[in-house]
Chains A and B, each alone.
Chain A
Amino acid sequence: MTKKVVIIGGGIAGMEAASTLSRMNIDVLLIEKKQQLGGHVGEWDHLFPNFRNAREITRSLLYDLQDKHIKICTSTEITGISKKSGKFEVRTTQQQTFKADSILLSTGFDLFDARKKEEYGYGIYENVITSVDLEQKLKESNVLTMASGVIPKRIAMIHCVGSRDEKSGYFHCSKVCCITAVKQAIEVKQKLPHAEIFCFYMDLRMYGKKFEELYREAQEKWGIQFVRGRLSEAAENMDGSLQIKSEDTLSGRPLKMNVDLMVLMIGMVPSESTTFLGKMLGIHFSEDGFINHDDIHLENNLTNVPGIFTAGTVTSPMTITDTIADARSAALKIATYIS
């Protein structure tokens, strides 16, 4: 009898793990709560570090899912999971029950709710948007305007919103937002060559392949300015533009500046749905709220519950490159476990 794996979460991690498992002749059921597969990547426009169209990624992953070993349930959520003599029983909102030898959690991350950082005025001031809003705008339209329809002259990109911030309750670094800021700044500059763009950062995390190069290009070729300092607050001027306050920690001086548009680089936070499932399954979480690994070096797809594995951003923020690698490694671990 073929073994069966239930994968919860059809983002890129779940998709890649499913196709890898199917190639090893393992039956897979992929459960996704949304209507479509692809997760967050489905919402992005062009990707760092090379401006590749995000649709290429999802399309390619979808293509690999066409296999007789793979069954897909979209618009489906989990209502309960129980474990009996080494087998799992998964119940869903569609009133179905599935048996599984192993479960893969690839439920991903949530975006930080920028309204919780009220001093930046998201949801209060009309010209404050998030990196995700910007991604949508870039995807949908060729021009970028202020709420009034006017072309912005000065734009500030604010790093670490809801990351590395004790006050918001999240200490961790979201890893992708520095480079996303660089990428988006270049994209905006391409659309609005006359705009001045400032990135306010605490540290720049340019650790990935081609990241540092892109950062240099942003400065040298596109004239994007990087200001080291954490924004303390923003206030709205009469005309809807924003006055932002920060300290330039390199020069040690308080800094006030007027900008037309402010983009908040929101972080990746533990997903609520993962917390819910994890509690039900007795899975351990680390202090940052993501799923914990007992052995961070050698067993980074294992949870404390035998038979339950993880892939992708359920365990920490990751780029697409890292998520794909993690999903493949999870598939391999699962295959070893069930045979």
Chain B
Amino acid sequence: MTYHHFVIPFNIGVAVLFAIILVKFTIWIVKLEPVDKKLIRKNFFSIKTLEAVKESFMEGLLHRKIFMVNPVLGYMHMSLAFGWFLLIVFGNFQAQFYTRTVIHPPHYPIFFNFFVTSPDEYLFKASFEFLMDLLLLFILTGLMIAITKRFYSRIVGLKKTTRLKFFDRLALGSLWLIFPLRLFAESFTSGIHHNGNFLTGTLGDAFAKFLPVEQLALPAWWGYSIALGAFFIALPYSRYMHIPAEILLIFLRSFGVRTRRNYSSYSDIEVRSCSRCGICIDACQINKSLGMNTIQSVYFLRSIRENNVDDEKLFTCMLCGRCENVCPVGIQLSDLRVTQRTKNGVRNTSSYDFLNPPPYKIADVVYFAGCMTHLTPAIKKSMLKIFDIAGVNYYFMDSDKEACCGRPLILSGHYENAAKLIDYNKKLIKKSKAKVLVTSCPICYKTFKEDYRLDIHVMHHTEYILKLVEVGILLLEKGDSRVVYHDPCELGRGLGIYEEPRILLEKVSRLLPSDDEKENALCCGGSLAGFNLSSAQKNAIRDDALASLMKSNPDKLITSCPLCKKTFSRGTKVQVQDIAELIASSAYVPEKKKISLKPEAEPVPVLS
């Protein structure tokens, strides 16, 4: 026997699920930007597809990243996803071994224990039976955690990540029922036939003692099939849509598709891929230091899905990137926020006519201090000193602070205006014929790298100074001050520069470790992006970050961003310096060289 009427709900469910997902995926892909489609065509037949398969497996099924952040949560996700996946795969093998054919109706392996009750032997019979029971147990333990978590958080009154809607409820309810019903159905059936393995067999025999298992078995199989069917039909309209969406996301991402300036079809896929795991809430300092939990990424993404993005969610966030760093799905949370700012921001229409190009200079290196560095002149002065000691032929492009790099405008969602400034600066950079652009501000740096499309080297001064030291143009003296280093959000998480400052600091001081380093560094609170935060709130965030940095009682707090420096120095008595200041005070000129340091000295070889 390979068919019974009770399989109808399951089959309908599977058919509907595949049809809807197919339609959704098609719409998403068709709506992608032309550049993105090009990327897909280019990379489809390449190693990237294989990598995506691997990643889907690691993240979609094993949930490796969630596991690393929170093992219990990871186990829960893994047992449900991976356990179920294995149940299907091995169920199919079992059916194939039994029937010795490859093809059979899709429901056959799912309801195998209903159809096959005879004691006929087939290859690996005992192993299959044991494995299938084990997998069922594995899934059921995960389910227990899921149910406990839901009720526990309700009992302790925690704010939940989700407001459940009809389809969510349907999907959740049926998901909870699927595996217990399978357990009962299989146990009842094995209670009748006295087969089954350690779980279903034992339970079946026990049930048979006091329950009319003959009457109960069929309704249980019906229930199991209906629960499956209901889950599949509800899935595309429920939060569980994140599962297929994430798989698609993984493939597109590995082909190089990204959310760029504007909200695209890919952004939509990202928004739907959020699993509501809530990990982003814990990472956010606005939650930790201010106890405010309404704006974090999980809520923000929900507001995009429900079309009710508000100013609070958009403009309170500091775009520090801490949530993005831990998001197991790898959603571009900061970029998504910026796209929404662009969409919802108030138009600011300045023509920037007032900009008149300053006289430029032909040089090897262009130095762009940045507006923030002009407000922390010690950094600027130190950089100029370093250039002079190293004898670099440089052009101080914004010495008069003419045009800003454009980033603050981008962060507030005014991309068109930023474009005018970008255009202006680009012309100056071109005219200087320099091969390297050095900036002191990570905020500018990111925009030079990502928005300017310059064909010269763009470097933050930490990288540039290290280069100067490595090629031997800049000599440093080791001091004995004990320093702790703060990774600025934009330089660290934003651009992955963690090692250069540390190598430099090791050379001139005694670098102490701190609790929240590198990817996990805290935001100083001074972010330009947190428009809605009051100064009291920013100070609270700053003070918590300082408390963490000051644990080792350093002599100095070193950072590499003018904004971090400014923010921190107002909150502590400990001296706060930019790395350039410490380097400038540790640099020395060898006796011989001093003589050749006249203005007309030979230009030093360009670093690139």
Q: Residues on A close to B: CB < 8 A?
A: 116, 118-119, 121, 123-125, 166-169, 233-236, 245
Contact call A235/B374, Cβ cutoff below 8 A: yes
Pairwise interchain contact B566-A166, C-beta atoms closer than 8 A:
no
Q: In the complex, what residues of A have CB within 8 A of residue B570's CB?
A: 116, 167-169
Q: Which of A125, A166, A233, A245 contacts B535 (CB 8 A)?
A: A166
Cα-based distance from A234 to B569 in the complex (angstroms): 19
Is the beta-carbon distance between B569 and A233 smaller than 8 angstroms?
no
Which of B375-383, B416-424, B553-561 lies at the interface? Answer: B375-383
Q: In the assembled complex, how far is the CB of residue A271 from the closest CB belonging to chain B, in whole angstroms?
A: 14
Which residues in A have their C-beta under 8 angstroms from that of B535?
166-167, 169
Cα distance, A119 to B374, chains bound together (Å): 7
Q: B543-579 interface mask toward A, CB cutoff 8 Å, 1 = contact, 0 = none?
A: 0000000000000000000000110011000000000
A residues in contact with B377, CB < 8 Å: 118-119, 121, 124-125, 233-236
**Residue of A with least CB distance to B379:** A118
Contacts of B339 in A (CB 8 A): none
Rounded to whole Å, the gap between the CB of A274 and the closest CB of chain B is: 16
A residues in contact with B399, CB < 8 Å: 235
Smallest CB-CB separation from B380: which chain A residue?
A235
Total chain B interface residues with beta-carbon distance under 8 A: 14
Q: Hey, which chain B residues are within 8 Å of A168, CB to CB?
A: 570
**B440 interface hit (Cβ, 8 Å):** no
Closest residue of A by beta carbon distance from B381:
A124
Report chain A residues within 8 Å CB of B566. 118
Name 26 interchain pairs, CB-CB below 8 A, sorted by A: A116-B569, A116-B570, A118-B376, A118-B377, A118-B378, A118-B565, A118-B566, A118-B569, A119-B374, A119-B377, A124-B378, A125-B377, A166-B535, A167-B535, A167-B570, A168-B570, A169-B535, A169-B570, A234-B377, A235-B374, A235-B377, A235-B399, A235-B401, A236-B377, A236-B381, A245-B401
Q: How far is the CB of B53 from chain A (nearest CB, A)?
A: 52
Q: How far is the CB of B386 from chain A (nearest CB, A)?
A: 15
Q: Once bound together, how far apart are the Cα atoms of A169 and B570, in whole Å?
A: 8
Shortest C-beta distance, B372 to chain A (Å), equals 10
Contact with A along B392-428 (1 / 0, CB 8 A): 0000000101000000000000000000000000000
Residues in B whose Cβ lies below 8 Å from that of A124:
377-378, 381
Count A/B pairs, Cβ under 8 Å. Answer: 37
Chain B residue numbers with a CB within 8 Å of A123 are 378
Nearest residue, chain A, Cβ from B369: A235
> How far apart are B400's CB and chain A's nearest CB, in angstroms?
8
Q: Considering residues B374, B376, B377, B565, which has the most beta carbons from chain A within 10 angstroms of its beta carbon?
A: B377
In the complex, which of the residues A119, A169, A233, A234 contacts B539, with contact meaning CB atoms closer than 8 Å?
A169
What residues of chain B lie closer than 8 Å to A235, measured between beta carbons? 374, 377, 399, 401
Q: Which of B29-71 contact A (CB under 8 A)?
A: none
Q: How far is the CB of A313 from chain B (nearest CB, A)?
A: 21
Chain B residue with Cβ nearest A128: B377
Closest chain B CB from A18 CB (angstroms):
32
Q: Which B residues are in CB contact (< 8 Å) with A119?
A: 374-377
What is the CA–CA distance of A167 and B566 in the complex, to the nearest angstrom?
10
Expressed in whole angstroms, the minimum distance between the Cβ of A211 and any Cβ of chain B is 31
Known: A116-B570, A124-B377. 9 other contacts (CB 8 A): A118-B376, A118-B377, A118-B378, A118-B565, A119-B375, A119-B376, A125-B377, A169-B535, A169-B539
Min C-beta distance of B546 to chain A, whole Å: 13
Alpha-carbon separation in the docked complex, A124 to B577 (Å): 13
Chain B residues, CB < 8 A from A234:
377
By a CB distance below 8 angstroms, the chain A residues around B376 are 118-119
A236 / chain B contacts, CB cutoff of 8 Å = 377, 381
Bound together, the chains give a CA A169 to CA B565 distance in angstroms of 15
Please indicate the chain A residues that have their CB under 8 angstroms from the CB of B374 in the complex.
119, 233, 235
Q: How far is B374's CA from A125's CA once the two chains are assembled, in angstroms?
A: 13
- Whole-angstrom distance between the Cβ of A49 and the nearest chain B Cβ: 33
**With the chains together, A121 CA to B375 CA distance in Å?**
9
Closest-CB distance, A228 to chain B (whole angstroms): 22
Please indicate which of the listed interface residues A118, A124, A125 has the most CB atoms of chain B within 10 Å of its own CB: A118
The complex places the Cα of A118 from the Cα of B578 at a distance, in Å, of: 12
Interface bits B125-163 vs A (CB < 8 Å: 1, else 0): 000000000000000000000000000000000000000
Q: Could you tell me the distance between the alpha carbons of A234 and B570 in the complex, rounded to whole angstroms? A: 19
Contacts of A125 in B (CB 8 A): 377
Expressed in whole angstroms, the Cα–Cα distance for A166 and B375 within the complex equals 16
> Shortest beta-carbon distance, B131 to chain A, in Å?
65
- Which 3 residue pairs are nearest across A and B when measured between Cβ atoms? A119-B375, A124-B378, A118-B376
Least Cβ–Cβ distance between A288 and chain B, in angstroms: 13
C-alpha spacing A125/B376, complex, angstroms = 12
Considering the complex, which residues of chain B in the window 159-195 have a beta carbon less than 8 Å from any beta carbon of chain A? none
Q: When chains A and B are docked, how far (Å) is the Cα of A119 from the Cα of B399?
A: 15
Task: Return B91 CB to nearest CB of chain A, in Å.
Answer: 65
Q: Give the nearest-CB partner of B566 in chain A.
A: A118
Q: Using CB atoms, name the residue of chain A closest to B581.
A: A124
Write out the residue numbers on chain B whose beta carbons fall within 8 Å of the beta carbon of A169: 535, 539, 570
Closest approach, in angstroms, between the C-beta of A272 and any C-beta of chain B? 9
Distance, CA A166 to CA B376, complexed state (A): 18
A322 to chain B, nearest CB (A): 29
The minimal Cβ–Cβ distance linking A286 to chain B, given in whole angstroms, is 15
Would you give the shortest CB distance from A167 to chain B, in whole angstroms?
Answer: 7
CA separation between A245 and B399, bound complex, in Å?
13
Q: How far is the CB of A278 from chain B (nearest CB, A)?
A: 18
Tell me the nearest residue of chain B to A287, going by C-beta: B536
